[in-house]
Amino acid sequence: MLSKSLVFLKKNNLFRDIKNRDSSQGSRIIIGGKEYINFSSNDYLGLANHPALIRAAQQAMKKFGFGSGASRLLCGGSILHAELEEKIAKFKETESALVFNSGYAANTGIIPAIAEEGDAIFSDQLNHASIVDGCRLSRAKTYIYRHKDTANLENLIRKTKSRRKIVVTDSVFSMDGDIAPLKEIYDICLALNATRCTPDTLLYTDDAHATGVIGKGKGSLEHFGIKPEPWIIQMGTFSKALGSFGAFAAGSKDVIDWTVNIARSFIFSTALPPCIIAASIAALELIEKKPVLIKKLLANRDKTAKGLTKLGYDIMGSETPIIPVKTGSIESTLKASRYLLKKGIFAPAIRPPAVKEPRLRITVTAAHTDEDIEKLIKALGSL
**What does the pLDDT average to over 137-160?**
96
Supply the pLDDT for residue 383. Answer: 85
By three-state DSSP, how is residue 88 classified?
helix
pLDDT-based confidence at residue 283 (cuts at 50, 70, 90): very high
Spatial CA neighbour of 308 closest among 298, 293, 318: 318
Per-residue pLDDT tens over the stretch 179-234: 999 999 999 999 988 766 667 899 999 999 999 999 999 999 999 999 999 999 99
Go through the domains of the chain in sequence order and give each one's CATH number.
Answer: 19-49+291-382 (3.90.1150.10), 51-289 (3.40.640.10)
What pLDDT was estimated at residue 79?
98
Peptide bond just before 181 cis, omega within 30 deg: no
- pLDDT tens string 81-125: 999 999 999 999 999 999 999 999 999 999 999 999 999 999 999
Say whether 63 is catalytic: no
Work out the percent of the chain whose per-residue pLDDT is above 70. Answer: 99
Q: Does the pLDDT value for residue 239 go beyond 90?
A: yes
Position 313 confidence tier, pLDDT thresholds 50, 70, 90: very high
Strand order in the sheet with 345-346: 28-31, 34-38, 345-346
pTM: 0.94
Q: How many residues does the chain have?
A: 383
- Work out the number of other CB atoms within 10 angstroms of the CB of residue 35: 13
- Percent of the chain exceeding pLDDT 90 equals 91
Predicted pLDDT at 200: 86
Give dist(CA 75, CA 254) in Å, integer: 21
pLDDT of 198 reads 64
Q: Which of 128, 148, 218, 240 is catalytic?
A: 240
Give 1's pLDDT tier (boundaries 50, 70, 90): confident
Return the H-helix or E-strand segment holding 249: strand 247-251
Respond yes or no: is residue 240 known to be catalytic.
Answer: yes
Euclidean distance between CA atoms 135 and 143, whole angstroms: 10
- Which entry of 102, 174, 244, 337 is annotated as an active-site residue? 174
CA distances 169 to 49, 88, 187, 337, Å, are 30, 20, 14, 30
- Residue 246: CB atoms within 10 A of its CB come to 25
Q: Is 19 a catalytic residue?
A: no
Write the pLDDT tens digit of every residue in 336-382. Answer: 999 999 999 999 999 999 899 999 999 999 999 999 999 999 999 99
> Mind listing the pLDDT tens digit for each residue in 245-280?
999 999 999 999 999 999 999 999 999 999 999 999
What pLDDT does residue 197 have?
60
User: Which value, to the nearest 10 degrees, does the dihedral of the CA atoms of residues 104, 105, 107, 113 take?
Assistant: 160
pLDDT for residue 199: 72
